[in-house]
Amino acid sequence: MRTIQAYRFALDLNRGQERVVLAHAGAARVAHNWALAKVKAVMDQRSAERSYGVPEELLTPSLSWSLAGLLKAWNQAKGEVAPWWTEVSKEAFNTGLDALARGLKNWADFRKGTRAGRPVGFPRFKSRRRSTPSVRFTTGAIRVEPDRKHVVLPRLGRLKLHESARKLARRVDNGTARIMSATVRRDGGRWHVSFTVEVQRAERTPARPQVTVGVDVGITYLAVLSTGETVDNPRHLVAAQQRMRSLGRALSRKTGPDRRTGRRASKRWERAAARLGRAHARVANLRRDGLHKLTSRLATEYGSVVVEHLNVAGMVANRRLARHIADAGFAEIRRQLAYKTNWNGGRLLVADRWYPSSKTCSGCGAVRTKLPLSERTYHCQTCGLILDRDLNAARNLAALAAELDTAGSGPVAGRGADRKTPPAGLAAVKRQPGTTLVGQTGTVPPQGRTTKRVPTQAR
């Protein structure tokens, strides 16, 4: 099975190498801003000419928004715009122009209604101080050195890694991986290099291929499995909140930048901002590490994993829970499970957003009309079952997989729910590699598109 996979390593750059990388990132920003200004100028000119009554055939020729069109315009003007263009790699300019081409395409597709999801705005100019330095290389010498502690990139030369790249080097040496591109980026005060690799993965089978597990994510526990296992929520952001407050107060006492007066930030402000950025990066790294360990264990052990299609964008509208929901990373858990179950030969089943997993009794199937969030223990009025709310939901999710296997591809009678949670007739209405959306007979909304009204009785 061939897949596209990324390998990310931290770099240890000296001052000279960092200046060269920053020069390449600055060249990408210059090309991006120049091309964006050119596009806006042509659009404004054509709009003004239309307002004067100029026929369409006599309007100023439009500028192609594709990467090839932007590159052609840049190559004609780079001698005047950037006379120093020979000092950096051509890949630096391609990086900025490619980002603009993709941004313009996404904006145009959203305007035409062919792109689902959140609104996409028109591309903006990149600031020298606020944008993240990044440059991408797709051609030239891109390799990992035999010592596996250095990488070679075009025009940047030999760069030292902070960690060993043996995982990538072994695949490249065995002929099961091919490096397609490399991106150097500064994230959290540290430079990283990310390799986009085409990998030939061996066919795998989960340790328990016939076992299905339902996963109910939450705040009290990060995940509750239908087997009865609970995964504690580490709450990395809460643990680091006191230190972040202290660093934020220290930053506010320094002389920062002011766009109105053109004042530049002091060196002490820059050092304080770097300390605060490193604290945020540490929280993100801890969260990412924990989620990867959890999803990898689930994908390698169970043949079928069932999760919910949560409206995370609507859930964070609750100001009392928004920080804790964002810290837990519900969407990231589902994203990682989607490709890891596919890699390991399993499957991911996604229950419909309106499926009443928490309000349904896992013993007799009775559905309660309302179940407030404050009620953490499920009490069934029909059969008398008393069970933890999250464990009950996880068992209901696991039961969905059994109903799907029994029904095959056709719908079966669901357990029903109230008006806000329509009947959960079971059908595989949308199939993706390793992912099946179940629990709804109607049309499935595109992933990423959220409703304006946030249901409070959906869980």
Q: What is the DSSP string of 164-209?
A: --HHHHHHHHHTSEEEEEEEEEEETTEEEEEEEEEEEPPP---SEE
- Same-domain status, 6 and 92: no
**Cβ–Cβ < 8 Å for 308, 216:** yes
- Same-domain status, 190 and 216: no
- Same-domain status, 226 and 370: yes
Of the residues 91, 98, 216, 327, only one is catalytic, namely 216
**Cβ–Cβ < 8 Å for 190, 197:** no
- Give residue 459's pLDDT: 39
The segment with the largest mean pLDDT, out of 173-177, 413-417, 448-452, is 173-177
- Same-domain status, 105 and 181: no
- For the entire predicted model, the pTM comes to 0.82
Residue 450 within a domain? no
Q: Provide the pairing of β-strand 143-144 with 435-438.
A: unpaired
Rounded to an integer, what distance in angstroms lies between the CA atom of residue 421 and that of residue 402? 21
**Cβ–Cβ < 8 Å for 143, 160:** no
Residue 191 within a domain? yes
Residue 96 within a domain? yes
- Same-domain status, 190 and 220: no
Average pLDDT over residues 278-284: 94
- Same-domain status, 312 and 423: yes
What are φ and ψ of residue 52, in 5° steps? -85, -5
Is the model's pLDDT at 450 over the cut of 70? Answer: no
Residue 120 within a domain? no
- Same-domain status, 100 and 148: no
- Same-domain status, 21 and 93: yes
Average pLDDT over residues 437-450: 44
Is the model's pLDDT at 17 over the cut of 80? Answer: yes
Average pLDDT over residues 129-158: 93
Residue 308 appears among annotated catalytic residues: yes
Which residues, 6+ apart, have CB-to-CB distance to 192 below 8 Å? 8, 9, 10, 11, 184, 185, 186
For residue 125, the SS3 value is coil
- Same-domain status, 433 and 372: yes
Residue 126 within a domain? no
Residue 275 within a domain? no
- Of 43, 77, 112, the residue that ends a domain is 112
Range of the domain at 170: 2-15+133-200
Of the residues 91, 98, 308, 327, only one is catalytic, namely 308
- Sign of the C-alpha dihedral computed for residues 175, 94, 21 and 292 taken in this order: negative
Rounded to an integer, what distance in angstroms lies between the CA atom of residue 422 and that of residue 416? 7
Average pLDDT over residues 29-47: 95
- Same-domain status, 63 and 154: no
8-state DSSP, 19? H
- Same-domain status, 397 and 413: yes
The domain total for the chain is 3
- Same-domain status, 293 and 413: yes
Which residues, 6+ apart, have CB-to-CB distance to 444 below 8 Å? 352, 429, 430, 437
Is the model's pLDDT at 422 over the cut of 80? Answer: no
* Closest to 382 measured CA to CA, from 397, 396, 399, 361: 361
Rounded to an integer, what distance in angstroms lies between the CA atom of residue 129 and that of residue 147? 36
What are φ and ψ of residue 379, in 5° steps? -115, 115
- Of 112, 147, 175, the residue that ends a domain is 112
Tens digits of per-residue pLDDT, 334-373? 999 999 999 999 999 999 888 888 899 988 888 888 888 8
What are φ and ψ of residue 310, in 5° steps? -85, 145
Residue 448 within a domain? no
Q: How confident is the model at residue 436 (pLDDT cuts 50, 70, 90)?
A: low
Is the model's pLDDT at 128 over the cut of 90? Answer: no
Residue 75 within a domain? yes
Residue 405 appears among annotated catalytic residues: no
Residue 147 appears among annotated catalytic residues: no
- DSSP per-residue codes, 363-422: TT--B-S---TT--EEE-TTT--EEEHHHHHHHHHHHHHHHHHHHTTS-B------TTS-
Of the residues 91, 98, 327, 390, only one is catalytic, namely 390
- Give residue 237's pLDDT: 93
